[in-house]
Amino acid sequence: MNTPAVATAPAIAGENQRSAFRRWVRALGPYLGLVLVIAVFAIMSGNPARYLSILNVRIVLTQTVIVALGAIGMTIIIISAGIDLSVGSVVALCGVVSAIALRSGWPPVAALVAGVSLGAFVGLVNGLAITRLSVVPFIATLGMLGVARGAAKWVADQQTVNIPPTWLNQLASTFPAHAWMLVAPGVWLTIVLAILAALMLRNTVFGRRVFALGSNEAAARACGIQTNRLKLWIYSLGGLFFGLAGVVQMSRLRQGDPTVAVGVELDVIAAVVIGGGSLNGGEGSILGSMIGALTMAFLRNGCQLMGWPNYIQEIIIGVIIVLAVAADRLRTARQASY
């Protein structure tokens, strides 16, 4: 609406300094948040050396893995202007299923594949509900939140599933079996997958179409992009990461527990939003989301170090989520007025 009265050629061609600056601020925002959280807790704890010790950083990184893996999948979904609320239940379901597979004597690789592909399948079902039944993603995945949790309890017979020791248990151990790895294999796995996902979003036709879908679905459809099929791929891919997070969860607990990971979706969504993802779609980055996940993990860890009770953590994280989304709203509002 508020366009300048007289548009001149330089206005069309020239760099818009202000918006370039704004993008810089936005790109830096997540890092500043992370530095702020670390600094605040380092000072408040009165013992920065302990908070930032190699041991503690190692613990934080290991704790980050599940949220970070979920955040990779969620970033793709949120960029496409979607949402998935079923993450926590899918993590539990896939963890339980791969635990059952291990207990039944499947080789670890097969159990891993089973958990991951079940996650992708659940994502596909979400995608089908969204595209075929025209249910908005919020509702479709809210339904799946219940369905997957129930299914997890059902297949586990409402009990935890104990697993034999295999290399799969090493995935998220704070001290890796081989000292040269420095951090848990799950951390390395997450880093590699994050890089691959970032490259995919940046440099593949699929990735760019995810952005197009989130930026303007009608335009994408008008350009002959099969948006429904694209959504199936997006939710399946997201589910794949949630399934992997489930296997890591099982590995950490050394058992399949159908009641774990309640509310993990909120941490995952918060990580993406803190990292610059917009719930209106079209914006978000894997790197940002990883920073967001780290911020959440340092926050939780800091609260624990301070000896604050669990409920204080919950309150703080709840406030952070709202503030991050408020910042997101402010950004988009400013963009709309431009």
User: Which residues contribute to the site for another protein (CB under 8 A)?
Assistant: 1-9, 11-13, 15-16, 19-20, 203-208, 211-212, 214-216, 218-225, 282-283, 335, 338
Nearer to another protein, 108 or 276 (CB): 276
CB of 280 to another protein, least distance (A): 10
Nearer to another protein, 78 or 264 (CB): 78
Closest CB 75 distance from another protein, rounded Å: 14
Smallest gap, in angstroms, from Cβ of residue 223 to another protein?
4
User: Pick from 199, 196, 224: which is nearest to 212 by CA?
Assistant: 224
Closest CA to 68 of 317, 232, 245, 200: 245
Q: Which of 70, 61, 91 is nearest to 295 (CA)?
A: 61
126 CB-near residues (< 8 Å, 6+ apart): 84, 86, 137, 140, 141, 144, 235, 239
Q: 20 CB contacts (<8 Å, ≥6 apart)?
A: none
Q: Minimum distance from CB of 226 to another protein (Å)?
A: 8
Closer residue to another protein (CB): 4 or 105 = 4
- Indicate the residue among 214 and 238 with the shorter CB distance to another protein: 214
Least Å distance, CB 334 to another protein, is 12
Nearer to another protein among residue 189 and residue 217 (C-beta): 217
Q: Is the dihedral of CA 277, 283, 288, 290 positive or negative?
A: positive
Q: Which two tokens stand for residue 318?
A: 């709840």
Dig out the tokens for 167 from the structure.
């290399």
For residue 97, give the nearest of 78, 117, 80 by alpha carbon: 117
Cβ of residue 133: shortest distance to another protein, in angstroms?
Answer: 21
* Nearest CB to another protein, comparing residues 63 and 285: 285
